[in-house]
Structure 1
Amino acid sequence: MFQDREEAAERIAERLDHHRGKNPLVLAIPRGGVPMGRIVADRLDGELDIVLVRKIGAPGNPEFAIGSVDETGHVELNPGTERFGISEDYIEREADRQLETIRERRQRYQRPPTHAEGRVTILVDDGIATGATLSAAIRSVRAQSPQALVVAVGVAPPPTVERLRGEVDELVCLEAPADFMAVGQFFRDFRQVDDEEVIAALRGEVS
C-alpha cells in the first residue's frame, strides 16, 4: 500500500537511479502519471513530457478495454476481442472519439510532442490493469527508435507485468499483488488529478 503517488514516484526514481546523468526522457501518461513523472524526471535530471494514448472501451462497459488508440490514430485490439462480436463500426466510432480526446488534451496542455529517438525513454504511470493503454504507449514510443525503452509503474497484476516485460528493455513495477482488482486499492490517497495539476507539473511548478 502506497501513501500516495508521490511515495510511489520516489521509490520508482530510486530504482531507476542508474539512468541519472543520461538525460532520460520521462513520458508520463495523463492524468495520474504526470505528477509522478515530474518527480521521476527531477530526481534523474531528465526531461518530462507526456504520451497520449486512450483505451477503447467495450460497448456498455467503457472501463473494460478492448483495445487502444495512439496519437497517430493507430488502433490495436486486445487478443481475443473478436469473440465478443463487436462491430467494426463501433470500434471505428469509439476510436475516433478517443482520438478527438487525445487531440483536445494535446492542445490543452500546449505541449508539442517530444521525440524519443536515441534517448533513454521512461514511460511512467501510477498503475496498470489490463495494460492496453500502456501497450499503445510502448508501440508509439518504440516507433521513434529510443536508445532504451523503460516502463515504470507503481502496481499491476502479475500476468500484465509478465506480458509487458517482453515488450520493453526494462520494467520496474513496485508491487504485483495476486489479489489485484484496481489500481486505486493500493493507494491510501488516490485522488483524481485534474488538468491544472498536469499543466503545473509539465511546467515544473510542482515537484
Structure 2
Amino acid sequence: MRFLDRSTAGHQLARTLAPLLNGPPDGAVVVLGLAPGGLPVAAEVAEALGAPLDAAVVRPLAVRGHDRPVGAIADGDPPLVDRDTLRSLGVTAAELGASVKRERVEVHRREALYRQGRDRLPVQGRTAVLVSDGLTDALTTRAALHALAADRPERLIVAAPVGDARVAADLRHDADAVVCLHLPRYAHAAGPWYGEFHEVTDREAAVLLHRRTPPGDRPLAGRAPRHAARS
C-alpha cells in the first residue's frame, strides 16, 4: 500500500477511525497531530470527525557524534530514555543533560510558534487520538502518549496510515488502541510509503492548527507541571 500524500492518507484513516468513535458525545474527541509531520494527516482526521485539532510536540534526544536517538522529550515531561542505547553508546550524564536542555527549548519554541498564543486543548475525560504520518519510531510516539496519559484522557488512541509492525505492537502497551492502515514488517521511515512527502514547515503546522481549532473550545489553563520520571 502506498498513499498519494498525507491528506489522502488522512481521509482514509478517518474512515477507519470513525466506527471506533461513534460512542462519545459531541466534543468528547480531540485529535492531536504528532508535529510537525503528523499534522497534515491529523487535520484531515479532525475535519472528518468534526473534532478540534491540537499538536503533540516531541523531540528526539540526539547526542553529538551519534546518529541514533537515545530518547525523546515532550512538553514539560521528564525525558523518555532508552537506557540500553545509552549504555551501548557510552553516553555520559553530561551529554544526555545537554541534549535534554537543547531539545526542551526547541519543544517550547515550536509549541509557541504553532499555537500562536493559544493554550493547548484539554484532553481530560475525552478521547484523545494521537495521529502520526508513520509509526516508525516507538520512542517518539511513546513520549507523546505518556505526556497525553498524564492529562487523564478517557481513552487514548494512536493512529497512522502506515507503521512498522513491531513498533505498532510495542505501542499497544501505551494506548487503549492502535489503528494502522498498513503494517509492513519493516518500515524504518514514513516517506517511502507516500507518493508526495515533503518536510512540513513551522508555518504550515501553525496554519493547520489555526484552521481546525474551534474558538469555543475551552483552553486548558493552570496545568500543573509533571514531575514523575519515566524510563
Name the TM tier (shorter chain).
Answer: over 0.9
Question: 1: distance between equivalents of 2:75 and 2:187?
Answer: 29
Question: 2: distance between equivalents of 1:79 and 1:8?
Answer: 34
Question: 1: distance between equivalents of 2:77 and 2:159?
Answer: 24
Answer whether contact 2:165 2:186 (CA < 8 A) is retained. no
Question: 1: distance between equivalents of 2:165 and 2:83?
Answer: 18
Question: 2: distance between equivalents of 1:11 and 1:61?
Answer: 37
Q: Read off the aligned partner of 1:177 and give its amino acid letter.
A: P
Deviates more, 1:170-179 or 1:97-106: 170-179
| Counterpart selection for 2:197 from 162, 181, 190 | 190
Q: Find runs of 4+ consecutive structure 1 residues off by over 6 angstroms.
A: none
For residue 121 of structure 2, give the secondary structure of its aligned residue in structure 1. Answer: coil
Question: 1: distance between equivalents of 2:110 and 2:137?
Answer: 23
Question: Could you say which residue in structure 1 is the equivalent of 2:109?
Answer: 104
Structure ranking higher in strand proportion? 1
Question: Could you say which residue in structure 2 is the equivalent of 1:84?
Answer: 89
| Counterpart selection for 1:171 from 178, 186, 190 | 178
Deviates more, 1:52-61 or 1:92-101: 52-61
Please, which runs of 5 or more residues in structure 2 have no aligned partner?
Answer: 213-231
Question: Could you say which residue in structure 2 is the equivalent of 1:41?
Answer: 46
Structure 1 residues 67 and 49: alpha-carbon distance in aligned structure 2, compared to 1, 3 A threshold: same
Answer whether contact 1:128 1:155 (CA < 8 A) is retained. yes
Structure 1 residues 168 and 4: alpha-carbon distance in aligned structure 2, compared to 1, 3 A threshold: same
Q: Deviations over 1:148-192 (max 9, x none)?
A: 000001222111111001211111111111242321111110011
Q: Read off the aligned partner of 1:14 and give its amino acid letter.
A: R
Question: Could you say which residue in structure 2 is the equivalent of 1:14?
Answer: 15
Question: 2: distance between equivalents of 1:156 and 1:65?
Answer: 19
Q: CA deviation at 1:73?
A: 4.0
Question: 2: distance between equivalents of 1:14 and 1:78?
Answer: 35
**Aligned: 1:113 with 2:114:** no
Question: Could you say which residue in structure 1 is the equivalent of 2:70?
Answer: 66
Report the RMSD for the aligned CA atoms in angstroms. 1.5
For residue 126 of structure 1, give the secondary structure of its aligned residue in structure 2. Answer: coil
| Counterpart selection for 2:141 from 129, 134, 141 | 134
Question: 2: distance between equivalents of 1:3 and 1:61?
Answer: 33
Q: Deviations over 1:86-139 (max 9, x none)?
A: 111111100111110011112212232222100000001101222111100000
**Aligned: 1:56 with 2:57:** no
Question: 2: distance between equivalents of 1:61 and 1:44?
Answer: 41
Please, which runs of 5 or more residues in structure 1 have no aligned partner?
Answer: none
Q: Read off the aligned partner of 1:141 and give its amino acid letter.
A: L
Q: Read off the aligned partner of 1:52 and give its amino acid letter.
A: V
